[in-house]
């Protein structure tokens, strides 16, 4: 992709947020690996996002939206095009601010509340907000890395609950750069996926939560965080669970039973604490992580006849 002064000036004039050129994605991904993106841009508003997408479509500039880069691997050869980060879209509010802030005891534990969160809001952020506002329904997201946009796209979940269970509607920028809202009944959720047309960008969502006891909500969140700390290798950089769980057996258990725990390539390693985590032990490269992924897939396919699918999104060029 050719980036001349005219191109720099044009996109720089479309946003108030940061515009970074030739940016190492290892500085932005949760695993700390990845080559350079030609451009990494941070629109501050949906209006800026719409303006950018319209321009890129018109000029046939390759682009891809990304969230907080917690489940993203950019190959070491980098990404030839524009990565649009939705990280700055962080509005989070209870819909209908004219409702009274104080409730009778009877009202406090009855009824539902609609919470709107833009795509860049972290899942941990919406959990913390729910605790402050005594709202139940998002506790299962405690400790899940990533943002609302990315979480919805992969239908993030844990403890037998998923985002599809609490979402009321999703706001998108469609493939023609038009904004619209999709109601829950029309959202094609699958296991670890929301099957939207390629090029669709999630800009936010309304969630249906229930008024509850702050102490009970906080207690449940604390229990979930404690369980994650016990099971997951949180001391090292990672992208969370690498593989989707196939029916019948968790991917991590398959990997452990195949004797792959501790497998290391460069500074990337399958965690000795959890088989479905690949951790960066220091200076891992994207290629190291991808080599481990390929090795695991071949081994499990050979032994069990199952091709493990990744939860991670892998983009970009080889070196």
Answer yes or no: do 163 and 256 share one domain.
no
The per-residue pLDDT for 96 is: 54
Q: How confident is the model at residue 169 (pLDDT cuts 50, 70, 90)?
A: very high
Phi, psi (rounded to 5 degrees) for 50:
-60, -40
Is 241 a known active-site residue?
A: yes
Q: Is 272 among the domain residues?
A: yes
The per-residue pLDDT for 106 is: 44
Which domain range does residue 300 map to?
233-315
Catalytic residue from among 192, 238, 269, 271: 192
Q: Using one digit for the tens of pLDDT, what is the confidence trace for 51-72? A: 999 999 999 999 999 988 999 9
Answer yes or no: do 106 and 216 share one domain.
yes
Lowest-confidence segment of 23-27, 110-114, 128-132, 275-279 by average pLDDT: 110-114
Q: Using one digit for the tens of pLDDT, what is the confidence trace for 173-186? A: 998 899 999 999 99
**Domain final residue, candidates 202, 229, 256:** 229
Cα(219)–Cα(37) distance, integer angstroms: 42
- Helix (H) / strand (E) element for 130: namely helix 123-132
pTM (global) more than 0.85: yes
The per-residue pLDDT for 213 is: 93
Residue 114 makes CB contacts below 8 A (sequence gap 6+) with 94, 95, 96, 168, 206, 207, 208, 209
CATH number at residue 278: 3.90.78.10
Answer yes or no: do 66 and 194 share one domain.
no
Catalytic residue from among 26, 85, 241, 271: 241
Q: Using one digit for the tens of pLDDT, what is the confidence trace for 129-151? A: 999 999 999 999 998 888 999 99
Answer yes or no: do 278 and 296 share one domain.
yes
Number of domains, the chain: 3
Answer whether residue 99 shows pLDDT above 70: no
If you count them, how many residues does the chain have?
A: 319
pLDDT (mean) for 281-290: 97
Answer yes or no: do 96 and 213 share one domain.
yes
Contact 55, 84 (CB under 8 A): no
**Domain final residue, candidates 169, 203, 229:** 229
Answer yes or no: do 68 and 144 share one domain.
no
Answer yes or no: do 250 and 268 share one domain.
yes
pLDDT (mean) for 283-292: 98
Answer yes or no: do 203 and 237 share one domain.
no
The per-residue pLDDT for 103 is: 44
């Amino acid at each position: 992709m050719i980036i001349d002064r005219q191109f720099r000036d044009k996109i720089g004039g479309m946003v108030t947020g940061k515009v970074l050129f030739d940016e190492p994605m290892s500085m932005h991904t949760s695993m700390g690996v990845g080559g350079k993106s030609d451009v990494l841009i941070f629109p501050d508003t949906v209006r800026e996002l719409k303006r950018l997408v319209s321009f890129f479509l018109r000029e046939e500039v390759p682009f891809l939206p990304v969230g907080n880069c917690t489940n993203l691997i950019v190959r070491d050869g980098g990404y030839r095009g524009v990565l649009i980060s939705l990280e700055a879209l962080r509005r989070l509010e209870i819909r209908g601010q004219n409702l009274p802030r104080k409730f009778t005891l009877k009202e406090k534990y009855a009824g539902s509340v609609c919470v709107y969160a833009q795509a860049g809001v972290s899942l941990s952020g919406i959990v913390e907000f729910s605790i402050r506002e005594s709202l139940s329904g998002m506790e299962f997201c405690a400790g899940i890395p990533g943002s609302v946009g990315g979480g919805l796209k992969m239908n993030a979940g844990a403890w037998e609950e998923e985002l599809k269970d609490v979402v009321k509607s999703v706001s998108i920028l469609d493939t023609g750069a038009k904004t619209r809202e999709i109601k829950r009944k029309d959202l094609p959720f699958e296991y670890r996926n929301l099957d939207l047309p390629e090029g669709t960008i999630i800009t936010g969502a309304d969630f249906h939560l229930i008024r509850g006891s702050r102490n009970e909500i906080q207690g449940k969140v604390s229990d979930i965080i404690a369980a994650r700390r016990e099971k997951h290798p949180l001391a090292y950089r990672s992208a969370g669970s690498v593989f989707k769980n196939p029916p019948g057996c968790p991917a991590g258990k398959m990997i452990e039973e195949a004797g792959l725990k501790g497998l290391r390539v460069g500074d990337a390693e399958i965690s000795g604490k959890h088989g479905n985590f690949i951790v960066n032990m220091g200076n891992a490269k994207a290629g190291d992580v991808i080599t481990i992924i390929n090795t695991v897939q071949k081994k499990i396919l050979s032994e069990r006849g199952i091709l493990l699918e990744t939860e991670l999104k892998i983009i970009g060029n080889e070196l």
